[in-house]
Chains A and B, each alone.
Chain A
Amino acid sequence: MRDLQLSLNQTQRVRLEAALDELQTVAPAAAVTVADTIPVNDEDNILKGHGTSDQDGEVVATLCGVVERVNKLVYVRTLRARYKPEVGDIIVGRVIEIAPKRWRLEINFSQDAVLMLSSMNLPDGIQRRRTAVDELNMRTIFEENDVICAEVRGFQHDGSLHLQARSQKYGKLERGQLLVVPAYLVKRRKQHFHHLEQYDVDLILGCNGFIWVGEHVVVGENANMMENKLNLSAEVENFTPLETRKHICRLANAVRVLSALGFTLTVELIIETAEASVSSNIEINNMLGAEFYVQTAEREVKRRADLLRKKSGAR
């Protein structure tokens, strides 16, 4: 497997293989590879989308993936590829450079994303023109190597990707872990910010495959009310309680296991995996071991089979 170096024993290997085979039989996928011909009806004039090209009148795939058809559009959905931004996506990125009036972020795209000073809210919350002083003080907002959450604003004329962070919920992420998973494992949903109250943890599933697991921070109007309280106990607040840290690690390891297995990451699945590790008394560090890995695979297979049975039962 890609990220985890596991040494499975014989039994575990057999179990894992059985589980993965089961997955393939549950829902066999129609995959294409580079230079495969995609069968289309010649009568209907089709639109060729991403990952296809025209060679001698045939539609040929230029990528490995799954063929998707939407009305007349035929395209290939890739699996292991870099992130393809869409306007409005919530992403997590890392600052790699501070340039005049802008930060450059690494977001697993084919080029660095740009976050302009003018397209983010200032910490004081006042709407005004950004001055030269603001520009000089950019490092007080974000420094190099800071992890940031932002939204995709769109492509500029020159082809560069611009971000924006015009809300309290965006901004610097602190006291947590950043996990990098393949982008295809994160699906676009209505909600990408999750506050897991039972753990006091924030979980941000960035569309670009960067996942943030960190201590919960209060945002929005409540934040101002809390401000006074916070100042009083600033020293206490700078310290993340041990319990929360353990929760962060447990959730982070759940994400690691799931991404190594190549399962789509949803909040429910991550929480379920973390809960399962608690209920079967697995230490946080043992979550990355072979046994839990195989167990997770088996549990997921069972879950999907149940789901399928329910669906067919309903019919």
Chain B
Amino acid sequence: MPLSPRRLTASLAPLHSPPPPRQPPSSAPQKTRRATTHELIAGGGNPSLSRQQRLGERGRAPPAMEYVNPLTGFRVDGRRPNEMRQLKGEVGVVARADGSALFEMGNTRVIAAVYGPREVQNKGQQVNSKDALVRCEYRMADFSTGDRRRKPKGDRRSTEISLVIRQTMEASILTHLMPRSQIDIFVQVLQADGGTRAACINAATLALADAGIPMRDIVTSCSADLNYIEDSAGGPDVTVGFLTKMDKVTLLQMDAKLPMDTFETVMDLAIEGCKAIANYIREVLLENTRRLECQRDH
């Protein structure tokens, strides 16, 4: 049952210079880029400084593009500076998998499939027979970005992201409950618009929960980052993985230097985002579980 896409307007740091109120496009078509891409940006700190100026502070050459339009107060994709992307999650999208999920954050769209726990296929990889072996494969579809080009399977970027996702998920899976088995997580980016790493982790969490794999906590991830155009222009990108219930950070990745005080606000924003995402994921899972239980006979 497709869940109605819901808008999570980030109730994050207050907007100091509120942009002209925009009608929330509740019925707006999904396809329009303007309407759907909402994202969290590291802009809550000092509104009087434009993004460009702050980048300038870091001693970097200011990028050619301004991220926040000084006139309208909107970003390139039509979001407010610290507005979150629109979330959409759906479980059970891959028929043959034990658990699967589709997760959308704005225009970023990721599909995850979980197989397992199942018999270890390659006994050589098994380090400890008391724990489950977690494996992860990340892949970007060739058509996921603007320029369609074939990417080799084992390139550095995807190997690194596979590792990041694997480590993040392994931290939350109770591996000791499934000895002598392996769990495979396959994540594929269908559409990339910044924040793919975060979307992948969220999708993997949903898929793992759908597969009935015991977990300590819901890991969610949010990146205070940029969309594809902004990312290509070379702005900072902070991805945070967060265990909501335990209030612990399991992942922190930064692709650029940030001054300490800015970093803290960015971090707070990202954590706020994680919490919002966790709420959403919980809603999706609860709805799904409730539906399954009701359809089952009593």
Contact = CB atoms under 8 A, between A and B. Distances in A.
A263 to B, nearest CB: 6
B211 A80 contact: yes
B291 A33 contact: no
Given A20-B1, A35-B217, A55-B245, A78 B212 contact: yes
Interface residues of A, number: 45
Interface string A33-77: 111100000000000000101010000101111100000000000
A2 interface: yes
A185 interface: yes
Most buried by B among A62, A112, A159: A62
27 contacts: A20-B294, A24-B291, A26-B294, A31-B289, A33-B282, A33-B286, A35-B218, A51-B214, A55-B245, A62-B215, A63-B209, A63-B214, A63-B215, A64-B212, A64-B288, A64-B289, A79-B292, A81-B212, A110-B117, A110-B119, A110-B180, A111-B118, A111-B181, A112-B119, A159-B179, A264-B296, A264-B297
B95 A2 contact: yes
A43 to B, nearest CB: 24
Interface string A13-38: 00001001001101111011111100
A33 B289 contact: yes
A263 B293 CA distance: 9
Contacts of A3: 95
A26 B245 CA distance: 32
Interface string B277-298: 0000010011011111111111
Nearest to B286: A33
Given A20-B291, A35-B245, A264-B297, A53 B216 contact: yes
Given A80-B211, A110-B117, A304 B297 contact: yes
A111 B119 contact: yes
B116 interface: yes
A34 B298 contact: no
B193 interface: no
| 10 closest Cβ pairs, A-B complex | A81-B212, A110-B117, A29-B293, A262-B295, A264-B297, A31-B289, A110-B181, A62-B214, A33-B285, A35-B245
Nearest to A264: B297
Interface string B185-197: 0000000000000
Contacts, number: 132
A266 interface: yes
Contacts of A110: 116-119, 132, 178, 180-181
B295 A263 contact: yes
Nearest to A106: B119
Interface of A: 2-3, 17, 20, 23-24, 26-29, 31-36, 51, 53, 55, 60, 62-66, 78-82, 106, 110-112, 159-160, 184-185, 261-264, 266, 269, 304
B142 interface: no
B117 A185 contact: no
B292 A262 contact: yes
B292 A34 contact: no
Contact of B285 (A17, A34, A51, A82): A34
B295 A66 contact: no
Interface of B: 1, 92, 95, 98-99, 116-120, 132, 174, 178-181, 209-218, 244-246, 282, 285-286, 288-298
A24 B294 CA distance: 6
Contacts of B99: 80
A64 to B, nearest CB: 5
Contact of B296 (A26, A32, A184): A184
A68 to B, nearest CB: 11
A309 to B, nearest CB: 14
Contacts of B212: 63-65, 78-82
Contacts of B216: 35, 53, 62
Contact of A34 (B92, B132, B217): B217
A35 B244 contact: yes
Given A28-B294, A111-B119, 5 more contacts: A20-B1, A34-B209, A62-B215, A80-B292, A81-B98
A64 B179 CA distance: 20
A28 B285 CA distance: 16
B282 A261 contact: no
Contact of B289 (A17, A27, A65): A65
A261 to B, nearest CB: 6
Nearest to A308: B298
Contacts of B298: 27, 304
Contacts of B296: 79, 184-185, 262-264
B180 A23 contact: no
A139 B202 CA distance: 46
A27 B294 contact: yes
B123 to A, nearest CB: 12
Given A111-B180, A112-B119, A81 B211 contact: yes
A80 B95 CA distance: 12
A81 B177 CA distance: 14
